[in-house]
Amino acid sequence: MSDSPVITDVKVIPVTGYDSMLLNIAGAHSCFFSRVLLVITDSAGHSGVGEIPATQVVQKILQNAAPYLIGQKITRLNALVAELHQRDLRDEHPDMQPFPQARAWDLERHYNAVAAVEAALLDLMGQFLNEPVAELLGAGKQRDEVPVLGYLFYIADRQRADMPYQPGRQDQHPWYHLRHQQAMGIDEVVRLAEAAQDRYGFKDFKLKGGVQRGETEIETAIALKKRFPEARVTVDPNASWSLDQAITLCRGMGDVLSYVEDPCGAENGYSGRETLAEFKRATGLPVATNMIANDWRQLNHALQLNAIDIPLADPHFWTMRSAATIGQLCHEWRLTMGCHSNNHFDISLAMLAHLGASAPGDITSFDTHWIWQDGQYLTKEPLQIREGKISLPDKPGFGIELDWEKVEAANRLYNSLPVKDRDDTVPMQYLIDGWQFNPKQATLLR
């Protein structure tokens, strides 16, 4: 039997940083974004860390998992993660009932919690074996650099909101100023892309849509492609366009859009998987999704219908190892591996990098929101995006070390927030009085 280190401590640490007033179908990003760090320590003195989106529910789930994890060998990683998937840790905490949210969201949070545990244990296993996490996933490390795209948003005028949005800095690269200023017009978005490209060397770009008229968003994509002819350009309206609208907007756009992300979704009794399949047939454009193939059963249905080409396998809900398996399947089945993202700190940046490094064959540039947060580091030597790629550190585990002073400050900021969970409606209501989410109506068309 192995003399595996055992888990001695589990810490659940919510952390908050600053964000710009980015627009999406759910409203406007708050000036704050929050994440949860899970830090697991073992008897060898190592600490492993995972990062996931922050909700209060997910924190309780992780706190419930802690007593169960302590004393376990880290080499039981596979079994521990499988057991956590099986045990419904939500039901073991009486305070957690009843859930105010719909069941689907609860499940996602359960998956988020399991993903955090798995990530932290992989980091520990890597340190125990003296190998990078990428070597422990899928087919092992395939590459040292992972391509990521420039993730662009329309940005609202922060001065219209009575919230402490940051003004940006003018003593650094222009990106660090521009990312805080209003950008609603096509030229302004192209200017943002130029600054991001100059700072990070991006080859590819994604525009978050579902905000303005579809025609305007397609015109923005055309302008981006004109400015960066070599780039793979995509638009993601988060399924807010109808199938007919999506076809009208995208048909014949193969020279501009390398793929389209969730152009349409469920409507008129047809599922999102069915409408995406029809969209693909009608336009011939490859389709990416982070909305309708988010677990094995959904993925199976999506592939049977030939609805998608690019599963965006986010390790924060798929878990690192399942996302890596999707990378392997994509390679074998002639699909393309991509990765979804949300606002995140530099621990998630390392998770994305190790996942991408393990994916065999060609992958499409991974999504990351990091450029909107870059500078707010929680690790001592954060991974960097250069020439549109993240380089893997030559170190065991994720190859990162938490900067505890910064983590504690980000945790104090979280604790000071009156409202903890993400709600893009609240900032949006400063822009349009009484604004309410409608999944089928562009944010500004009210």
Ligand X SMILES: O=C(O)[C@H](O)[C@@H](O)[C@H](O)[C@@H](O)C(=O)O
Binding status of residue 75 toward ligand X by CB under 6 A: no
What's the closest the beta carbon of residue 393 comes to ligand X, in angstroms? 25
Dig out the tokens for 249 from the structure.
């907007």
208 binds, among ligand X, Mg ion, none (CB under 5 to 8 A by kind): ligand X
Binding status of residue 236 toward Mg ion by CB under 5 A: yes
Rounded to whole angstroms, the Cα distance separating 342 from 35 reads 10
What angle in degrees, to the nearest 10, is found between the helix axes of 214-227 and 186-200? 40
Active-site residue 208, yes or no? yes
Binding status of residue 30 toward ligand X by CB under 6 A: no
What's the closest the beta carbon of residue 260 comes to ligand X, in angstroms? 12
Binding status of residue 24 toward ligand X by CB under 6 A: yes
Binding status of residue 217 toward Mg ion by CB under 5 A: no
Active-site residue 93, yes or no? no
What's the closest the beta carbon of residue 27 comes to ligand X, in angstroms? 9
Binding status of residue 280 toward ligand X by CB under 6 A: no
Binding status of residue 290 toward ligand X by CB under 6 A: yes
Q: Which phi-psi region, left, alpha or beta, contains residue 7 (left: φ > 0; alpha: ψ -120 to 50)?
A: beta
The one catalytic residue in 225, 340, 389, 406 is: 340
> What is the rounded radius of gyration, in angstroms, for the C-alpha atoms of the chain?
21
The one catalytic residue in 180, 208, 280, 344 is: 208
What's the closest the beta carbon of residue 42 comes to ligand X, in angstroms? 33
Binding status of residue 238 toward ligand X by CB under 6 A: yes
179 binds, among ligand X, Mg ion, none (CB under 5 to 8 A by kind): none
Binding segment (CB under 6 A) for ligand X, from list 72-80, 103-111, 171-179, 338-346: 338-346
| Window 183-222: contact mask with ligand X (x via CB under 6 A) | -------------------------x--------------
Annotated binding site: 236, 267, 290
Binding status of residue 236 toward ligand X by CB under 6 A: yes
Site for ligand X (CB under 6 A): which residue of 341, 358, 364, 443? Answer: 341
What's the closest the beta carbon of residue 341 comes to ligand X, in angstroms? 5
What's the closest the beta carbon of residue 353 comes to ligand X, in angstroms? 18
24 binds, among Mg ion, ligand X, none (CB under 5 to 8 A by kind): ligand X
Binding segment (CB under 6 A) for ligand X, from list 122-130, 174-182, 336-344, 406-414: 336-344
Check if the beta carbon of residue 169 is closer than 8 Å to that of residue 176: yes
Site for ligand X (CB under 6 A): which residue of 181, 216, 342, 391? Answer: 342
341 binds, among Mg ion, ligand X, none (CB under 5 to 8 A by kind): ligand X
Binding status of residue 365 toward ligand X by CB under 6 A: no
- Cα dihedral value 93, 97, 99, 103, nearest 10: 70
Find tokens 């802690």 and name the residue: 66
Binding segment (CB under 5 A) for Mg ion, from list 2-10, 140-148, 253-261, 379-387: 253-261
Residues in 284-343 that interact with Mg ion by CB under 5 A:
290
Closest residue to ligand X in the complex (CB): 24
Annotated binding site for Mg(2+): 236, 267, 290
Measured in Å, how far apart are the chain's first and last C-alpha atoms? Answer: 64
316 binds, among Mg ion, ligand X, none (CB under 5 to 8 A by kind): none
Rounded to whole angstroms, the Cα distance separating 81 from 79 reads 5
Dig out the tokens for 408 from the structure.
């504690």
- Closest to ligand X by CB, 126 vs 263, is 263
- Closest to Mg ion by CB, 16 vs 290, is 290
Omega prior to 315 cis, within 30 of 0: no
What's the closest the beta carbon of residue 71 comes to ligand X, in angstroms? 36
Rounded to whole angstroms, the Cα distance separating 75 from 371 reads 35
Q: How many residues belong to the site for ligand X (CB under 6 A)?
A: 9
Residues in contact with ligand X by the rule CB under 6 A: 22, 24, 208, 236, 238, 290, 340-342
Positions marked active-site: 208, 340
